[in-house]
Copies of this chain bind each other. A is one copy, B any other.
Amino acid sequence: MTQNDTIRRIAGAVKADSFKMAALSGEERNAALRKVAAALKDREEEIFAANRLDLENAEKVQLAAPIVKRLKFDEAKLRDVIAGIESLTQLPDPLFKVLLDREMDEGLHMKKVTCPIGVIGVIFESRPDALVQIASLCLKSGNCAILKGGSEAANTNRILYETIHKAGVEAGLPEHFLTLIESREDIGALLKCDEYIDLLIPRGSNAFVQYIMENSRIPVMGHADGVCHIYVDKAADMSIAAPIIADAKTQYVAACNTVETLLVHRDAAPALLPAIQKLLSGEGKDAAGKTFPKVELRGDEGTQKLIPCLAAEDADWDQEYVDYILSIKLVDSLEEAIDHINLHGSHHTDCIITEDEAAAEKFMMLVDSAGVYQNISTRFADGFRYGFGAEVGISTGKLHARGPVGLEGLVTYKYKITGKGHIVADYSEGRKAFHFKDF
């Protein structure tokens, strides 16, 4: 049996168990979540020891500092993931919700009811806490999950997986409610299992997400790029503009909701740009005395006339820097800003800074993005900040789920109809007629 066959066999077994998962009650799923939380606490020493191994390996191969930071799974991280599981048990059950309760005719009754999607494949980067978070979201929503974590975190992922899996099975979950794939080569085989896997959620680099979208018929939820914009309108309150821009660019530079391009109305530029340039020069301070990292500015011609900066090239308008770089462009109108964003943006999150409510309304109506903001930092685009409890990821697609995706993105629905021998011929030949009545 080839390794591809092995993966297919596993995926088939997961699919079979997904039907058992769909039949569990919300209380059974919550009980399993509580067992998982307790088991993680019980085995914390083993988990920390495994993580130390990963950290030592990371040191040996000299992994970059940000990766090492994300790799670390200490008491604080464990406390966080356990608190996350506990808050998940408090959330209402996303399954068995009746979305529509309709009498179609005498004795003929329809209910549209939420149910799990089935089998979800999640491929994620080095953070081991993501494994716990995703496994518990899938469990809460009655889905089976197949996980592939980053190899840097192999030891931590394995012990976390074993702990969650054992606790879940002891709590009565089917054997394949959670499966860990460890080899990078297995991803290719997974992508071909479209009859077993219902949804893929890739969390990683742009190139990686693109690769997955191009190489699988399985629907993908997520985002490849995060090219977010802030447009400073001529009617902007300048006292809030610079702090918002500094926060959106520097608060966590590696995030997808970081601003990459600043669009400035020509009338607002003379006042705004020098303030921005100073604040992001590495030596500027905000009103509270806070300093910000130095940001490289790349401006169009108009910008270059107003502040010292590098020249932006055409490619800059489409680029997700994930770095302390900001491109700046002057525009003549709100409409030009909207057109630029819809052409160059990634439909993730874009913001207008203005006190003109009509301009804000137009911007929020016409900008074709999951999040459209007025007078706040783009960094707010996040499931936790939206009050969703936890998030599976952020979707820039328009179908199914858009923006930060919580539990509701992990469920679908089915139509359950009961009758007493009803046949269609009676309706098409006029002997009976529908009488719709909703409850």
Contact = CB atoms under 8 A, between A and B. Distances in A.
A386 B103 CA distance: 10
Interface stretch (A68-76, A144-152, A398-406): A398-406
A247 B424 contact: yes
B398 A402 contact: no
A428 B360 contact: no
A22 B364 CA distance: 11
A370 interface: yes
A248 B424 CA distance: 8
A417 B118 contact: no
Interface string A23-36: 10000000000000
Interface stretch (A39-47, A173-181, A236-244): A236-244
Nearest to A111: B364
Nearest to A104: B387
A398 B196 CA distance: 13
Interface in A185-244: 198-199, 213-214, 217, 219, 221, 237, 239-240, 243-244
A422 interface: yes
Contacts of A217: 213-214
Nearest to A102: B387
Interface stretch (A272-280, A296-304, A324-332, A372-380): A372-380
A282 interface: no
A385 B422 contact: no
A6 interface: no
Contact of A417 (B374, B417, B423): B374
A312 interface: no
Most buried by B among A370, A417, A420: A417
B243 A421 contact: yes
Interface string A379-403: 1110001110000000001111011
A373 B419 contact: yes
Contact of A385 (B19, B372, B427): B427
A134 interface: no
Contacts of A380: 104, 108, 417, 419, 422, 424
A173 B415 CA distance: 36
B419 A387 contact: no
A425 B287 CA distance: 14
B376 A417 contact: yes
Contacts of A117: 398-399
A247 B428 CA distance: 11
A369 B428 contact: no
Interface string A411-439: 01111111111111101100000101000
The 4 closest A-B pairs by CB, nearest first: A240-B421, A376-B419, A247-B423, A379-B424
7 contacts: A360-B418, A373-B417, A374-B416, A375-B420, A375-B421, A376-B423, A387-B436
Given A376-B417, A379-B423, 15 more contacts: A22-B368, A102-B387, A104-B386, A118-B398, A198-B399, A199-B399, A239-B421, A244-B421, A244-B422, A251-B423, A364-B416, A370-B415, A373-B418, A375-B421, A402-B412
